[in-house]
Amino acid sequence: MGFCLLNNVAIAAAHARASGLDRVAIVDWDVHHGNGTQDAFVDDPNVLYISTHQFPFYPGTGAVSETGEGEGKGYTVNVPLTAGGGDGVYRAAFERIILPVLEEYRPQLVLVSAGFDASARDPLAEMTLSADAFGWMARALRGVAEKSAGGKIALVLEGGYDLVALESGLLAATRGVCEGTALDIARAPDVEDLERASRVAREAWKTVG
């Protein structure tokens, strides 16, 4: 239900699976929930789908209770965030939930649905990320890929509807993932959204704090 004809990240994950990988992680920081990606792998434990997104928001899916189905139970991790959240909330979400889950899963490949529409300037959404936050998240995911995937990570461009924010966010993320350089961002005090999301994630992932 997004603006794409082909879901590049889902196709890449399916291709990686067909090529013999057993653990592919998709991290979706686009501001919209990736309902198509989630649906494609909802019952598949071999593809872990983790999403941060504004919630409630278009397309309406991505509640914290959507955790996968059948054998894929636990391998969908949704971290819905209240409108207005910024760098500190994303850093807390990564440190409390996303990075521990990834390190426990030990992906052989990390694919990132790298939308830049959670930026403060974006005209469609109401999250307030700075460019530095994209750099920080990209660097953190590079670290995950280095630990378990031999460094294999791809950032795949998705949303982003303000050209200035797109340029600065993309530059920071590219530096973070290619060079491992990024500015630090402050971590927010724990917020209710993350309390809820960690409670649910903890049922499947013992390292979530």
- For Zn ion, the binding residues (CB under 5 A) are 30, 32, 115, 117, 159
Least distance to Zn ion from the beta carbon of 137, Å?
Answer: 15
According to DSSP, the residues that pair with 79 across neighbouring strands are: 52
Least distance to Zn ion from the beta carbon of 113, Å?
Answer: 9
Among 193, 185, 173, 200, smallest CA distance to 83 is for 193
Whole-angstrom CA distances from 85 to 21, 120, 147 are: 35, 10, 29
Residue nearer to Zn ion on the CB measure, 138 or 208 = 138
Least distance to Zn ion from the beta carbon of 106, Å?
Answer: 28
Residue nearer to Zn ion on the CB measure, 32 or 139 = 32
Residue nearer to Zn ion on the CB measure, 128 or 198 = 128
Least distance to Zn ion from the beta carbon of 193, Å?
Answer: 18
Q: Which two tokens stand for residue 201?
A: 């994630």
Longest Cα–Cα distance of the chain, Å, equals 43
Q: What are phi and psi of 121, to 5 degrees?
A: -85, -10
Residue nearest to Zn ion (CB): 159
The one-letter amino acid code at 160 reads G
Strands across the sheet with 24-28, in order?
Answer: 76-81, 47-54, 24-28, 109-114, 153-157
Residue nearer to Zn ion on the CB measure, 68 or 115 = 115
The one-letter amino acid code at 99 reads L
Residue nearer to Zn ion on the CB measure, 1 or 11 = 1
Least distance to Zn ion from the beta carbon of 118, Å?
Answer: 8
Q: Which two tokens stand for residue 197?
A: 């999301």
